[in-house]
Structure 1
Amino acid sequence: MGGERRLVYCKDERERSYFSRWLSSLKEKKTQARIQNKVRQLRVGNFSNCKSVGGGVHELKINYGPGYRVYFAPEGEEIIVLIGGGDNSTQEVDIYNAKSRYRRYKEND
């Protein structure tokens, strides 16, 4: 497995990235930078602090602040689909939404 994986963004019906909208909604630039750094680690194959939540979706736990989470779906050795994000307080709803969004993404792919 060589090189970085390509990121693909799961988008809404208006072609807006769920993940990018969530990330930009976070007020602190330091928090955004930490999350972006963790996503970069996914691109090079570092899946520590990740677990499957079902339906092909995985959760990256970020031990910072309120327990941020990034939801993604690895596809083969080359692509990671970024689905969205959240924190510990919204985890249940975030997982439900991530699975639903990924299902729609796969249907339209």
Structure 2
Amino acid sequence: MAIKVEEYIREDASNPYKEWFDGLSSQVAAKVTVAKLRMELGNTSSIKWFDGMGEYVIDWGPGYRIYLAKDGDTFIVLFGGGTKRGQQRDIDKAKALLVEYKARKKAMTTKSSNKHKG
């Protein structure tokens, strides 16, 4: 079962995942790329779900994490993540991005339904 995995793009066109990913060493970037491919192929066994979002744990090195949300059949990568050491800070960032994502989606849905009423 293939899963669509998208990176969250903020209203100002910034991409928190890309910003994080671009700062990784090539070795870590390769591990993260494999993790993303596994998600796309439907392997979600490394994701722990809590508070409406997921944490994909890469059991290597300092324990890298990728934070995401599920939206229908799509995974939205909210925030690239970090390591076990900064886990709470990273979770807080991802939660804030999830709130932002949901608010933007709701606003777009409201705009769209208002267009059809007029």
Task: Name 2:67's counterpart in structure 1.
Answer: 71
What letter is aligned with 1:106? K
Percentage of identical aligned residues:
27
Moved over 6 A (4+): none
Q: Which runs of no fewer than 5 residues in structure 1 stay unpaired?
A: none
SS in 2 for 1:60: strand
* 1:86 pairs with 2:79: no
Answer with 10-19 or 89-98: which moved more: 10-19
Aligned residue pair count: 104
Per chain length, whose mean CA-contact separation is higher, i.e. which structure has more relative contact order (CA < 8 Å, sep 6+)? 1
Alignment partner, residue 22 of structure 1: 20
Answer whether contact 1:41 1:47 (CA < 8 A) is retained.
Answer: yes
**RMSD, aligned CA:** 1.3
**What is the CA distance between 1:12 and its match in structure 2?**
3.4
CA deviations 1:51-102 (Å, max 9, x no partner) are 1131x2100000111110000112222x110011111111001111101101
Look up the equivalent residue of 2:12 and give its one-letter code. R
Q: Larger helix proportion, structure 1 or 2?
A: 2
TM-score w.r.t. length of structure 1: 0.87
Q: 2:28 aligns with which of 31, 34, 47?
A: 31
Take 1:52 and 1:92, find their aligned partners in 2: how far apart are those partners?
A: 15
Alignment pair present for 1:44 and 2:51: no
The two structures have a TM-score, normalised by structure 2, of 0.81
